[in-house]
Amino acid sequence: MIGEPLWRIWMSVPLLCLFACCGSSYSSLVDTSYGDAGMGETILVVYGTRAGSTAEVADVVGRILAEGGVRVDVKPVGSVKNLDGYSAVVIGTAIRAGKVKSDVLNFVKNCASELRRMPVAVFVVCMTMKDDTPENRKTVGAYLDPVREWIDPVEVGLFAGKMDYARLGFFARFAVQHVVKVPEGDVRNWSLIEDWSRNLRARLVTKNGGS
Ligand SMILES: Cc1cc2nc3c(=O)[nH]c(=O)nc-3n(C[C@H](O)[C@H](O)[C@H](O)COP(=O)(O)O)c2cc1C
């Protein structure tokens, strides 16, 4: 089990924080759309990832949202410059060293005034949620405090993620393997993610149904 204290110890060591921020060799970005243009509202699912697992979660969130009869764009955060044409936004972020990804936080800051005018949901993908306990929910919920300074999400999803050493750079891999000793594994709960997405529709779709 990955104890939260272990993450905290790790985070308290600056060198390891540096390891956490540097060195990820894997990049697999999902940039796709679901539903037809002209279906009315368009929802943006925007995400920040380092090792790809959050991109795959964002893809599922987008697909399920679109089943409600809306158009959904799923995009990496770096490719979104403004929110023109979107009626709602879902923001997904991986967690590293106890923080949301900096590109995601920058996106929130830069687009805060637009985001405050529409429904916004946020989801987090991290290994602490492998054990879905009230304590871990509190810890992971607090990772979003910097985001909440800018926006007030209508829904928040806290999801377990994936640890795949092959997707990490040398330093990050060394840190998780030998310092924090996080075992490999894909602990994403797809039915939980799908249910969350299905329930989210009604919170995001304001005009044209969204069953
Ligand atoms: C260097 C590094 C640091 C991490 N720090 C944390 C952390 O502080 N808390 C946590 O719950 N998970 C942490 N994780 C686990 C990731 O959040 C998890 O593997 C997630 O699925 C990664 O998302 P991504 O594949 O989209 O990058 C860390 C993973 C790595 C590789």
In this predicted structure, what is the pLDDT of residue 7? 61
Q: What is the value of pTM for the model shown?
A: 0.90
Least confident range of 13-27, 99-113, 193-207: 13-27
Q: What is the mean pLDDT of residues 6-25?
A: 50
Token digits of residue 105: 């936080």
Instruction: Indicate if ligand 1 lies below 6 Å from the C-beta of 104.
Output: no
In this predicted structure, what is the pLDDT of residue 27? 57
Q: Which CATH superfamily is domain 28-166+184-203 in?
A: Flavodoxin domain (3.40.50.360)
* Residue in 46, 127, 128 to alter for ligand 1 test, most ligand atoms within 8 A of Cβ: 127
In this predicted structure, what is the pLDDT of residue 209? 46
Instruction: Indicate if ligand 1 lies below 6 Å from the C-beta of 75.
Output: no
* Atom of ligand 1 minimally distant from the CA of 101: 27
pLDDT band at 37 (very low <50, low <70, confident <90, very high): confident
* d(CA 62, ligand 1 centre) in Å: 22
* d(CA 132, ligand 1 centre) in Å: 16
Dist. CA 105–CA 115, nearest whole Å: 13
